[in-house]
Chain A
Amino acid sequence: ETGVTQTPRHLVMGMTNKKSLKCEQHLGHNAMYWYKQSAKKPLELMFVYSLEERVENNSVPSRFSPECPNSSHLFLHLHTLQPEDSALYLCASSRNFEGGGGETQYFGPGTRLLVL
């Protein structure tokens, strides 16, 4: 148990669906992150929020829309995804985003997404 929870753990959706992934951290951290992990690839950083402000958007398609209503919660809204978007989506948090996020990050268990 790392103090970072994600729901749902598994999600199957069609290309026309709209769904949301939720992340919650109980560590009192100020920075939160979304990562994508595809098979045989390194973790890819998607978005970074620091104190509820988006500080990095790593060239992610607009069909992925993040939302950070407060420092404990992070959402990833999904709309008209493609089959190649099927992957493990990981949320992480760190104490701060000082130094550009180079602090130790603590990960949630991930959401396994399958787009049909």
Chain B
Amino acid sequence: DQQVKQNSPSLSVQEGRISILNCDYTNSMFDYFLWYKKYPAEGPTFLISISSIKDKNEDGRFTVFLNKSAKHLSLHIVPSQPGDSAVYFCAASDRGSTLGRLYFGRGTQLTVWP
């Protein structure tokens, strides 16, 4: 049973516009969420995280929003650049549990075209 879901396998956005990547989770005990970016032939690279005590975290062009009641988070990239083209993974964890390891979604392939 997959506890973190990324329902859109791909997203295509024009350069300069906003990219919105979505992630849903089922475990209400999750309290820490991360986004990773992965280029081909490389390992995932940590991008941004958010704790459940916040509903927004911003780092430059990247902002993560958390809606705990909906068990939903999203990553906004503004403005999108061609170098942002990669697979984006959402991950979640229950930090209060001794078994609170990271659970990953299947990823969303973002393509930013000029």
User: How many Å from the CB of B84 to the closest CB on chain A?
Assistant: 18
Binary interface profile of A, 49-73, with partner B (CB < 8 Å = 1, else 0)? 0000000100000000000000000
* Least CB separation from B38: chain A residue: A107
B44 touches A102 (CB 8 A): no
> In the complex where A40-B106, A41-B106, A42-B106 touch, is A100 in contact with B101 (Cβ < 8 A)?
yes
Complex CA–CA separation, A66 to B106 (angstroms): 25
A100 touches B97 (CB 8 A): yes
Residue B96 at the A interface, CB < 8 A? Answer: yes
- Determine the interface band of chain B, counting residues with CB < 8 A from chain A: 20 to 34
> In the complex where A99-B100, A102-B94 touch, is A110 in contact with B43 (Cβ < 8 A)?
yes
User: How many Å from the CB of B33 to the closest CB on chain A?
Assistant: 10
Contacting residue for A102 out of B32, B41, B106, CB 8 A: B32
Among B2, B32, B101, the most chain A Cβ lie within 10 Å of the Cβ of B101
Binary interface profile of B, 80-107, with partner A (CB < 8 Å = 1, else 0)? 0000000001000111111111111111
A43 touches B95 (CB 8 A): no
B98 touches A100 (CB 8 A): yes
> In the complex where A104-B46, A107-B44, A110-B42 touch, is A99 in contact with B97 (Cβ < 8 A)?
yes
User: How would you classify the secondary structure of chain B's contact residues: helix, strand, loop or mixed?
Assistant: loop
* Least CB separation from B106: chain A residue: A42
- Residues of A65-116 contacting chain B, CB below 8 A: 90-92, 98-110, 112
A109 touches B34 (CB 8 A): no
Residue A16 at the B interface, CB < 8 A? Answer: no
Residue B49 at the A interface, CB < 8 A? Answer: yes
B41 touches A109 (CB 8 A): yes
B2 touches A42 (CB 8 A): yes
Q: Residues on B close to A: CB < 8 A?
A: 2, 4, 32, 34, 36, 41-46, 49, 89, 93-107
> Mind listing 26 A-B residue pairs with CB under 8 Å?
A2-B45, A4-B43, A6-B43, A40-B106, A42-B4, A42-B103, A42-B107, A43-B89, A43-B104, A56-B101, A92-B43, A99-B96, A99-B97, A101-B93, A101-B100, A101-B101, A102-B94, A102-B95, A104-B46, A104-B49, A106-B46, A107-B45, A109-B41, A109-B42, A109-B43, A110-B41
